[in-house]
Amino acid sequence: MESIGDLLRQMKNSRFREQSDKLAAQLLSDPLVLELRSKHPELTDRELLTNLSKLYQYIGDRRHCDNCPGLDRCPNDFQGHYTNLVVQPSEEGTRLHERKTPCQKQLVRQHELQVRERIQSFYVDDRALNEGYNAVEIVSKDMERVPAVKQIFNYINQVKQEGLTAKGLYLVGHFGTGKTFLMSYMLHELAKVGYTGVIVYMPEFVEDLKSMLQDNSRLKQTIEIMKNTDLLVFDDIGAENLNPWVRDHVLGAILNYRMERKPTFYTSNYSMDALLQHLSFTNKDGEERYKGERLLNRIAPFVDVVSVSGENKRGGMDGI
């Protein structure tokens, strides 16, 4: 938008006074300025005339906002913000000050970015985390999974009202019933009220841990992130190719730290009994049931089991 100075400089000297007076009259008679004066009768003509450029910017921004073309095409000088005029007293009299104020669309976008920044994904498709969520649609998508959805909703509401406990959830069900999606929804909803979250796709995480053996600082950082996040989701546990080191020194360390402090969540195709069998066997050492039991004892007492039924919807994203 052209500044008022640019407009005035375009006028020929012989007509400068006439045109500037006309422009000032137009600004002072604008409904927005009249509204401002009615709210602040202490504003003098002199103060307004001294701040014509502020009035010009104020009116222009408000006109743009009234015909908003969308945040990405915002024509205001400071995208997503409009000029707000503040009247304040001073020793020299009433003064008019300019403030750049974020619009509602900008505030919504800022909040969305803050929510996304609170959630970290390891090997999980970001579409599951960035999808728009609608509670009614989640319930109606598949009536068979309504009991599970209600349990997730109840958990979210309880945390919002009472805060976090060390108790998490263990979602068990067949392929494609929406377990990952429901956990992503939970992370998103609780991120809105300030909780941080991490979701980890177990098969790829376990494979990537092999490369971390050569990068101790990255391994340590990854483990610390998983230890300290408010909400940790191990997605598709039981599908990974387990080895003793991952089981005993990585998962064991993470869960040993979290089990009395913060909730951990799981999605799986395995029941608890089947998961025990999985955790007890590694390709390297064969069956070590007591080690499997030791890890399961850091899982089972600290979760409520949620059975997720329904049709396999994995034609696109998991369970949507």
204 CA to centre of own chain: 24
Q: What is the pLDDT of residue 14?
A: 55
> What's the whole-model pTM score?
0.76
Tens-digit pLDDT profile for the chain (320 aa)? 556 666 555 555 556 777 888 888 999 999 999 999 999 999 998 999 999 999 999 999 999 999 999 999 999 999 999 999 999 988 888 899 999 999 999 998 898 888 888 999 998 877 666 666 777 778 787 888 899 999 999 999 999 999 999 999 999 999 888 899 999 999 999 999 999 999 999 999 999 998 888 888 999 999 999 999 999 999 999 999 988 999 999 999 999 999 999 999 999 999 999 999 999 987 666 778 999 999 999 999 999 999 999 887 765 444 44
Q: Which residue, 79, 81, 26, 94, is CA-closest to 56?
A: 26
First CA to last CA distance, the chain: 45
Q: What is the pLDDT of residue 276?
A: 95
Domain ranges of the chain: 4-106, 118-307
Q: What is the pLDDT of residue 318?
A: 44
Residue 279's identity, in one-letter code, is L
Q: Is domain 118-307 in CATH 3.40.50.300, yes or no?
A: yes
Q: What is the pLDDT of residue 317?
A: 45
Q: What is the pLDDT of residue 239?
A: 95
pLDDT digit string (tens) for 205-252? 999 998 888 888 999 999 999 999 999 999 999 999 988 999 999 999
